[in-house]
């Protein structure tokens, strides 16, 4: 149990003793201001309303029954009936000595959580538009896993659909001219543009491309073989980016749209049997009253086109059924652009109505906003084209290297490169993760690479700063023994921060907003910096016990910072 959970437990016991029915919560939260204590229990207000009692009287009753000896120094009633709890420094010191915040306790209930993220379309190269899903989804997957849940990553890659007819027709021609597939597809984006130009200019080629879509879908071996060559190279390109981004998506997590092909006819048949899908202008459509527009017109979800082809929604329905029935998910999370909100609502609604998912499973679209350029418009190249993710990362590394060279000119080239890699990639990821997911955000190189403020370099620096304390003391980080003592206010603030890590992670796992963890780490690093300033560690006048205690607090802070950054997919280093 973390501190808040302990307090909830104790306050709830006191509420029972005061005759308050069990369904009324203790409402324990961290206090907004130091004079309100460290935590506030606000449950008396709602309880008094329900029981028609005076809130201050009820709060007094709760406090009279509250057993916080050894935990709190002072408990006060404030305002209309808030209970302010001032924790005892000894309690914090003992708790901190006994806990390793970087290690999570087993959850009360282990959940199976499917996390759908990254999921790029394979026809083109990955571009900056794929960054957010990839790194936000990865951070949440890591947090859930760390807390002990069973996480099943699903990379729902778009590897099917009409574009592939054109692409394989083009590939066939180039291979016919003696080209090797690796070479023809060395520049995927260029290859796509070339095929498109060919398609637009040459009607015979366009006919063939259309024919190939049909052949592909009916399982023609020649077309399938070409398609497979294309897919293999495109997948490899994405995987190289995942490795570079330090993202935990592996080959085994790919379950692309084509994996559901054989199930699509069945999905349609089941929707028809349930009288959900019906014919409309030759297509098969589910009309949803639940999502009707303002005029009451039901929202149409096309599941089969008039030419017999299936759609994005159809494979998503098949995927959802698979996630419920085969993967047995308790939660299905989708990290997809906010612009696909309607699509997600449609798929979720149809899946529920058709009984494709078990009733207790939650279906959660976790949308995100757009990455903008400094001009406040969607991030583009100077000439207005989409920015390739690979190019963005190259620039991140070169900017970081320049920066590290300025800061620390003595480093040898390989060390500098390695630090620059961690700083550059970390900066790009953190800049994104630290913004409220649902908002658009402005991409700014200088801000993300700054060593001041809520940035990756600042946090990485705070970590390496602690490592340097241990180097100076000539100690291994895990070596210090002795009791933690808390005397200075900076020590108390830091201890409270360290002990709330678990709480923060649970919130992030619950609502999927990684900026909560970023803000926490920033506060933690800042709390450490002020501790470091006010509480000397290695100075000669500091007694051995205080020194050991402060070293332990430093070590726990380093572990927590490192773990927190690791959960965001950001690497740390001993020196920078």
Answer whether 64's CB lies under 8 Å from 42's CB: no
- Residue 159 or 502: the one with the smaller Cβ distance to ligand ARG is 159
| Residue 246 backbone zone (phi > 0: left; psi -120 to 50: alpha; other: beta) | left
At closest approach, how far in Å is the CB of 244 from ligand ARG? Answer: 20
Pairing of strands 82-87, 112-116: unpaired
At closest approach, how far in Å is the CB of 419 from ligand ARG? Answer: 33
- Residue 336 or 486: the one with the smaller Cβ distance to ligand ARG is 336
At closest approach, how far in Å is the CB of 549 from ligand ARG? Answer: 50
- Residue 43 or 256: the one with the smaller Cβ distance to ligand ARG is 256
- Residue 349 or 556: the one with the smaller Cβ distance to ligand ARG is 349
Q: In sequence order, which ranges of 52-179 are alpha helices (DSSP H)? A: 55-65, 89-98, 131-146, 163-176
- Residue 47 or 313: the one with the smaller Cβ distance to ligand ARG is 313
At closest approach, how far in Å is the CB of 336 from ligand ARG? Answer: 5
- Residue 346 or 454: the one with the smaller Cβ distance to ligand ARG is 346
- Which candidate, 85, 80, 25, places its Cα nearest to that of 57? 80
What is the distance, to the nearest Å, from the Cα of residue 232 to the centroid of all Cα atoms in its chain? 27
Give the span between the Cα atoms of 341 and 324, in whole angstroms. 21
Residue 568 token pair = 């965001």
- Residue 10 or 116: the one with the smaller Cβ distance to ligand ARG is 116
At closest approach, how far in Å is the CB of 363 from ligand ARG? Answer: 11
**What ranges make up the beta strands (E) of 17-95?**
28-30, 39-41, 72-78, 82-87
Give the span between the Cα atoms of 284 and 282, in whole angstroms. 7
- Residue 145 or 159: the one with the smaller Cβ distance to ligand ARG is 159
- Integer CA distances (angstroms), 566 to 143, 405, 571, in order: 9, 25, 6
**Binding interface with ligand ARG (CB under 6 A):** 116, 119-121, 156, 158, 316, 319, 334, 336
Answer whether 287's CB lies under 8 Å from 303's CB: no
- Integer CA distances (angstroms), 488 to 94, 481, 534, in order: 16, 20, 8
CB atoms within 10 A of CB 354: 19
At closest approach, how far in Å is the CB of 358 from ligand ARG? Answer: 19
Residue 20 token pair = 């308050």
At closest approach, how far in Å is the CB of 121 from ligand ARG? Answer: 5
At closest approach, how far in Å is the CB of 362 from ligand ARG? Answer: 16
Give the span between the Cα atoms of 399 and 445, in whole angstroms. 8
- Residue 68 or 336: the one with the smaller Cβ distance to ligand ARG is 336
* Burial 81-107, CB ≥16 within 10 A → b, else e: bbbbbbbbbebbbebbeebebbebeee
At closest approach, how far in Å is the CB of 173 from ligand ARG? Answer: 27
Answer whether 134's CB lies under 8 Å from 117's CB: yes
- Residue 167 or 319: the one with the smaller Cβ distance to ligand ARG is 319
At closest approach, how far in Å is the CB of 70 from ligand ARG? Answer: 51
At closest approach, how far in Å is the CB of 119 from ligand ARG? Answer: 4
Surface-to-core class of residue 274, CB atoms within 10 Å of its CB (0-12 exposed, 13-18 middle, 19+ buried): middle
What is the distance, to the nearest Å, from the Cα of residue 476 to the centroid of all Cα atoms in its chain? 32
- Residue 156 or 435: the one with the smaller Cβ distance to ligand ARG is 156
- Integer CA distances (angstroms), 190 to 193, 328, 455, in order: 5, 41, 35
């Amino acid at each position: 149990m973390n501190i808040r959970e302990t307090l909830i437990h104790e306050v709830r016991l006191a509420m029972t003793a005061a005759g308050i029915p069990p369904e009324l919560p203790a409402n324990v939260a961290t206090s907004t201001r130091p004079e309100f204590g460290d935590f506030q229990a606000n449950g008396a207000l709602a309880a008094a309303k329900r029981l028609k009692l005076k809130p201050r009287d009820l709060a007094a009753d709760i406090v009279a029954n509250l057993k916080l000896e050894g935990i709190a120094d002072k408990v006060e009633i404030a305002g209309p009936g808030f209970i302010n709890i001032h924790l005892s420094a000894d309690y914090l010191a003992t708790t901190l000595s006994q806990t390793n915040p970087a290690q999570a306790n087993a959850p009360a209930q282990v959940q199976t959580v499917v996390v759908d993220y990254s999921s790029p379309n394979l026809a083109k190269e990955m571009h900056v538009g794929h960054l957010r899903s990839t790194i936000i989804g990865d951070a949440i997957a890591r947090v859930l896993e760390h807390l002990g849940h069973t996480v099943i990553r699903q990379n729902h890659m778009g590897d099917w659909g009409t574009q592939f007819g054109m692409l394989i027709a083009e590939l066939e021609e180039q291979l016919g001219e003696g080209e090797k597939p690796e070479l023809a597809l060395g520049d995927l984006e260029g290859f796509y543009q070339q095929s498109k130009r060919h398609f637009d200019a040459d009607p015979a080629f366009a006919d063939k491309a259309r024919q190939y879509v049909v052949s592909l879908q009916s399982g023609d071996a020649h077309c399938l073989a070409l398609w497979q060559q294309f897919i293999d190279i495109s997948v490899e390109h994405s995987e190289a980016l995942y490795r570079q981004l330090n993202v935990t998506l592996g080959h085994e997590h790919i379950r692309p749209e084509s994996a559901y092909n054989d199930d699509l006819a069945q999905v349609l048949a089941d929707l028809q049997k349930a009288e959900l899908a019906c014919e409309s202008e030759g297509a098969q459509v589910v009309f949803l009253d639940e999502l009707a527009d303002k005029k009451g017109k039901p929202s149409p979800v096309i599941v089969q086109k008039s030419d017999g082809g299936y759609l994005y929604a159809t494979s998503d329905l098949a995927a959802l059924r698979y996630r419920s029935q085969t993967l047995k998910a308790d939660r299905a999370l989708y990290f997809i652009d906010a612009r696909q909100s309607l699509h997600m609502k449609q798929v979720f609604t149809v899946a529920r109505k058709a009984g494709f998912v078990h009733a207790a499973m939650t279906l959660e679209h976790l949308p995100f906003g757009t990455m903008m350029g400094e001009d406040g418009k969607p991030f583009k190249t100077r000439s207005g084209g989409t920015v390739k993710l690979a190019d963005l990362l190259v620039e991140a590394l070169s900017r970081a290297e320049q920066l590290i060279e300025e800061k620390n000119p003595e480093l040898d080239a390989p060390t500098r490169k390695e630090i620059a890699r961690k700083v550059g990639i970390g900066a790009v990821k953190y800049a994104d993760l630290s913004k409220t997911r649902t908002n658009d955000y402005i991409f700014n190189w200088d801000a993300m690479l700054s060593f001041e403020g809520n940035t990756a370099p600042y946090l990485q620096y705070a970590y390496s700063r602690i490592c340097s304390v241990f180097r100076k003391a000539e100690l291994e980080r895990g070596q210090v023994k002795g009791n933690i003592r808390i005397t200075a206010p900076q020590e108390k603030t830091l201890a409270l921060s360290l002990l709330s890590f678990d709480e923060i992670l649970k919130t992030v796992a619950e609502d999927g907003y990684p900026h909560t963890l970023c803000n926490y780490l920033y506060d933690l690093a800042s709390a450490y910096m002020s501790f470091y300033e006010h509480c000397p560690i290695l100075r000669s006048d500091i007694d051995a016990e205080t020194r050991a205690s402060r070293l332990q607090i430093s070590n726990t802070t380093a572990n927590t910072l490192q773990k927190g950054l690791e959960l965001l997919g950001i690497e740390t280093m001993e020196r920078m």
